[in-house]
Structure 1
Amino acid sequence: MSENNGYQQLTPSGMGAVLTWNPGSSVEDLAKRARRAALESGCALVRGVELDEDGFKLLVRSLGDTVDHKFGEGQADLLKLNASRDEGKVVTGRGPLPIHTDGLLVGERVDLIILYAAEFSDIPGSGATYVSDQLTAWEEMPVHLRRVLDEHEIEYLVKERGYFPTVPEDWYTIPTTRDYGRVKSLNLATAFPLDVAQRSWEIRVKGMDQERSDRFFEELDTFLRSERYTYIHSWQVADLLIIDNQRTLHGRTAISEGGTRVLFRGQLTLSGAP
């Protein structure tokens, strides 16, 4: 970790800001400081924040406007990522989630993602959240990877219909970049590992043979999650992580068989940001 602009940063590329929490300060004050830090640095980490469900909702609504919710579970101000053991649950389940941007599959703008550890007990490396500094990674991306993103379309097939009930049932194309006026960034997800049976989505490069497409996504994922660009957050109860969904990509490692992981998640759209 390094320091810049008064913040302790989370990646060698300069992403992230570690903030301190004063238990005597208000949730609204925390929201103001954390929003500024997340928008300036890509994500903000605060440890030891005591919040119940109502306190979390207040924090989320103090940060901005909740998104127009189009998912099959939860609400934009509170979804419980509870490491469900139910068959067919992927996003809220126990397996890994590849690197992705929230709102991608439903075509929804999400500016900030708020994650809070209500319960957590797992072995080291399990149930971690990783956040990638996609803007720097995109700028420094090898030419052969960037050329595919520039010259080809990417298609998705949603498998987890219960979580994404409104999207097309067949393969459909999503633009690889987005620009809502604040920053132009990559708009994509990578593939689930081949040994993962339950997948929320499938992905391919349109017009490319499957073997070559698979190799591309494997190499792209490895690059975006390399040490220079990626912060891996090992959760503790009362951790708060606020992620700028336009500047970063994120994902999750699998939760262990005996692990407990309950994260509160909120999603916001910032009409006037920053």
Structure 2
Amino acid sequence: MDSITDMRRLTEDARCGRGLSSPYREKLERYGFVVLEPDGEESLSLEDIMAPLGEPVGYQYGTKLIQEQRAETDNSQFRTGAIPMHVDAFLNATGVRYIGTECLEAPYDGGETLIAASEAFFGAAPEDLVATLRGIEIEYWANVSGFYVDRPEGNPIIAPIQVDPVTGRDSLCVGVAYPEDPTRNFSAAVVGYTKEQNLELFEKLAGVLSQPQITYVHKWKVGQVLIMDNLRVLHGRAEYPADSPRKMLRISVA
């Protein structure tokens, strides 16, 4: 297994075609994410791409989700603002493992998907921040209606550093609740922290994740497919103009 310590060095390697002979599964296993480019061959559908990776997850919107602007919604998926770095694996009760997104309409500006690899984070993060993350647990809860499945057992409380099941190395599993935003899909708080301590920690974490050696900024083109392993990378979204079309087809599997 190749070590991923700088996202700037591997983003070209984490690409392949979308044709029938695409090596996307090998790329996904190696890097934790892969970009499939339309290459003129007979292209695999998003359904065919995701089928070998697991069973489709049934959100309250169904197993196929169209992500685009919608009027009068409290869900960040359907608005134009930025979405901070997070993983879906524990924020949804269905235990999402892989996310597959196909670009149907690309925005003329903004709307990039942000991808941070855990190995890159631990290769660059300050030791004191990592030490802090090892000693805490974070509680999460949903702020939107009609999207996240209710958890009868209560809110998830998750240690932000887990063991990567593929590499056996440390994995960053966190939702960054910064900046303050009551319209964000989720809220998070470190167990035992004050509001000020929470904001300080999440601000520091967001700053580290913004470094280019940790986070890859993917600018979309129509026909591209991006697959991410929720147990190995975090993802987020940059804001984009309200008059810009951004339409994605998403399928998640567990």
Compute the displacement of 1:141 (Å).
2.2
Whole-angstrom distance in 2 between the partners of 1:228 and 1:156: 27
Secondary structure of 1:36 counterpart? helix
Instruction: Give the deviation of 1:81 after TM superposition.
Output: 1.3
For the residue of structure 2 that corresponds to 1:121, the secondary structure is coil
Structure 1 CA distance for aligned equivalents of residues 12 and 201 of structure 2: 28
The SS at the match of 1:17 is: coil
Whichever residue aligns with residue 53 of structure 2, its letter is G
Seq. identity, %: 21
Query: For residue 94 of structure 1, what is the aligned residue in structure 2?
Result: 80
1:100 is displaced (CA, Å) by: 0.7
Asked if 1:21 is matched to 2:5, the reply is no
| CA distance in 2: counterparts of 1:170 and 1:217, whole angstroms | 23
Alpha-carbon contact 1:113-1:243 (below 8 Å) kept:
yes
- Give the superposition deviation at 1:169: 9.9
What CA distance in whole angstroms lies between the structure 2 residues aligned with 1:16 and 1:210?
40
Does residue 64 of the first structure (1) align with residue 48 of the second (2)? no
- Name the counterpart of 1:130: 114
Offset of 1:240 from its aligned partner?
A: 1.5
How far apart in 2 are the matches of 1:262 and 1:81? 6
Other-structure match for 1:255: 240
Q: Is residue 2:219 matched to residue 1:227? A: no
* 101, 108, 123: which one aligns with 1:115: 101
Per the TM alignment, residue 217 of structure 1 is displaced from its structure 2 partner at its CA by: 0.3
Q: Distance in 1 between matches of 2:98 and 2:159?
A: 20
The answer as to whether partners of 1:136 and 1:229 remain within 8 angstroms in 2 is yes
C-alpha contact 1:10 1:16 (8 A) present in aligned 2: no
RMSD between aligned residues: 3.0
1:108-187 equivalent positions in 2, closer than 5 A? 108-123=94-109, 126-167=110-151, 172-179=156-163, 181-183=165-167, 184-187=170-173
Q: Which runs of 5+ in 1 are unaligned?
A: 270-274
Show structure 2 runs of 5+ residues with no match: none
- Pairing of 1:24-63 with structure 2 (within 5 A): 25-26=19-20, 29-30=21-22, 33-48=23-38, 55-61=45-51, 63=52
- Once the two structures are superposed, what CA deviation does each residue of 1:87-143 show, in whole Å capped at 9, x if it has no partner? 2121333221110112221244433221110112332xx111010122231244212
Q: What is the number of residues matched between the two proteins?
A: 249
- Kindly indicate whether the alpha-carbon contact (under 8 Å) linking 1:105 and 1:167 is maintained by their aligned counterparts in 2: no
Contact 1:192 1:202 (8 Å CA) reproduced: no
Question: TM-score, with normalisation over the residues of structure 1?
Answer: 0.79
Separation in 1, partners of 2:137, 2:16: 43
Alignment of 1:202 with 2:187, yes or no, is yes
Return the alpha-carbon distance in structure 2 between the equivalents of residues 162 and 109 of structure 1: 17
1:147 to partner: Cα distance:
2.1
Alignment match, 1:193: 179
Distance in 1 between residues matched to 2:98 and 2:14, nearest whole Å: 16
Which of residues 193, 201, 213 in structure 1 aligns to 2:198? 213
Q: SS of 1:255's equivalent?
A: coil
2:78 and 2:40 mapped to 1: Cα distance? 23
Output the amino acid matched with 2:46. F
Asked if 1 retains the 8 angstrom alpha-carbon contact of 2:161 and 2:171, the reply is yes
The CA distance in 2 between the partners of 1:67 and 1:56, in whole Å, is 12
Q: Distance in 2 between matches of 1:108 and 1:179?
A: 20
CA–CA separation in structure 2 for the residues paired with 1:252 and 1:227: 15
Q: Is the 8 A contact 2:56 2:251 kept in 1?
A: no
